[in-house]
Amino acid sequence: GQNIDQPTEMTATEGAIVQINCTYQTSGFNGLFWYQQHAGEAPTFLSYNVLDGLEEKGRFSSFLSRSKGYSYLLLKELQMKDSASYLCAVREGAGSTDSWGKLQFGAGTQVVVTP
């Protein structure tokens, strides 16, 4: 099993930057996903990191440090529509046991964007 920790809630102003941290403790690791989930809706994929470093996609960036068991999601130029829950998910297993692509999810970070 794995422990995945992320803050419960963060508040930021429209146009600002917010960084959502995720730490994990794992016996096996094959990558980390970030998903966005608006209230009552399905999670939607944002980013995937399997190697150390920063991945940038428009206003969203994600960083991974495997040695530290740490990732963050950076949201720039915040918009009201970015108010949502952001889920960190670790891909479990290693080698042949990873053929199912199972994910372990954190509880999610609720981001509230204020005018």
Binding site for other proteins (CB under 8 A): 1, 8, 30-31, 33, 40-45, 48, 50, 87, 89, 91, 98-108
Cβ proximity to other proteins: between 1 and 115 the closer is 1
- Give the nearest distance from C-beta 29 to other proteins in angstroms: 12
- Give the nearest distance from C-beta 18 to other proteins in angstroms: 19
Own/partner pairs, 91-94, CB within 8 angstroms, 24+ separation:
91/29, 91/30, 91/31, 91/32, 91/33, 92/2, 92/26, 92/28, 92/30, 93/28, 93/30, 94/28, 94/29, 94/30
- Give the nearest distance from C-beta 67 to other proteins in angstroms: 20
- Residue 56 and residue 69: Cα distance in Å, rounded? 20
Cβ proximity to other proteins: between 70 and 105 the closer is 105
Cβ proximity to other proteins: between 68 and 102 the closer is 102
- Residue 38 and residue 85: Cα distance in Å, rounded? 6
